[in-house]
Amino acid sequence: MKQLHFKTNHDDHLIALLAALAVTIHIIESAFPSPLPGIKPGLANVITLFAFIQYGWKTALQVSLLRVVISSLLLGTFLSPTFLLSLSGALLSLLALVLTQLPFRRHPQHQPGAIGYAIIAAISHMSGQFLVAWYFFIPHPGLFKLLPIFITFAVLLGIVSGIITQFLVKSITQNLQLSDK
Amino acid sequence: MKSTLTFAKTSLNAADIIILFLACALTAWIYITFWFGNHTSGSAETLVLQVAQQPPEEYSLQDDRIIDINGPIGHSLIEIKQGKARFIHSACRNQFCVFHGWLTTPGDTTACLPNRISITLKGNLSEYDALAGGQ
């Protein structure tokens, strides 16, 4: 019998590692009750953010798509409304990150740090989910009364995940420099 | 980076500070728009009136009028004025429907249960209220 062989390179291993981390965080997080439906710390986005800052948007896109699909399969929400919300949030936040980075292409040393990107990602993640929820599931104008609360939490939790990402980036780059020497 | 602000071991550069400022401004603007502004997406256009066991009837909110409805326990009066609607009298004891006041936005509903009359404002947008889905 002929065996299948996949040739994998370093990038594949990296993406698999990051996606596995993100899935783990996502699933642990989904076990905790939330004070308000729709508000979650979103710590899995730390991994996406880290991938984006350290390796660029292509890696981040693959990591976040894998995270959304695999964790929804494991949680049993694949193709359900929850999955759609998760997917739309992930895609919109990555799009916003790419658009934010665009003007800094020539001067990457002036681009925002982890906290700036995290705030952008959190706000766009929340608005993406909110618009999909409003357009497809609850098309009632009263829903917009909740938007200020959601955005407030998005900004606060974005700052928190930005700080975590910054620590992550710092410690990992320090370790890399150490191992290079 | 030269222009970094360090606070509790986290650093913010100029772009971070601009983003933080814009995020706060956006949050403030959203509070003002959606909590204190007169935001409604779509305006109410018709009044849907339902009396026990009968098919619902629709009335336009453009024409000011008073509708006199006969329910199981007596008369109810519903007023339509300037795109709004309310109960002004009902034969019931509690008068909850009257105290509810004006219905102004699409989806607003009130009912006189003893007299088995309910009114709902319908807008031009939403045909349904919510879709329920599994977790």
Cβ under 8 Å to B: A residues 119-178: 119-120, 123, 136-142, 144-145, 147-148, 151-152, 155, 158-159, 163, 166-167
Cα separation of A14 and A6, whole Å? 16
In angstroms, rounded to a whole number, what is the distance separating the alpha carbons of residues B37 and A127? 19
Per-residue pLDDT, averaged over A120-129, amounts to 94
For A152, which residue in chain B has the nearest alpha carbon?
B27
* Interface with A, mutate which of B3, B10, B43, B129 (most A CBs under 10 A): B10
β strands within B8-83, DSSP E: 10-12, 44-51, 57-60, 65-71, 74-81
**In CATH, B46-122 is 1.20.1440.230:** no
ipTM of the complex: 0.82
Q: What is the pTM of this model?
A: 0.73
Q: Do A148 and B24 touch (CB under 8 A)?
A: no
pLDDT in tens, B87-127: 998 888 888 889 988 888 777 889 988 889 999 888 765 55
Structure tokens at B92: 């019931």
Q: Which of A106, A107, A123 is closest to A115 using CA atoms?
A: A123
pLDDT in tens, A35-50: 777 788 888 889 999 9
Domains and CATH numbers, chain A: 9-175 (1.10.1760.20)
Domain ranges of chain B: 5-41, 46-122
Q: Give me B117's structure tokens.
A: 């009359």
Please give the share of chain A, as a percent, with pLDDT higher than 70: 98
* Record: contact A139-B126, CB cut-off 8 A: yes
Question: Quick check: A54 contacting B, CB < 8 Å?
Answer: no
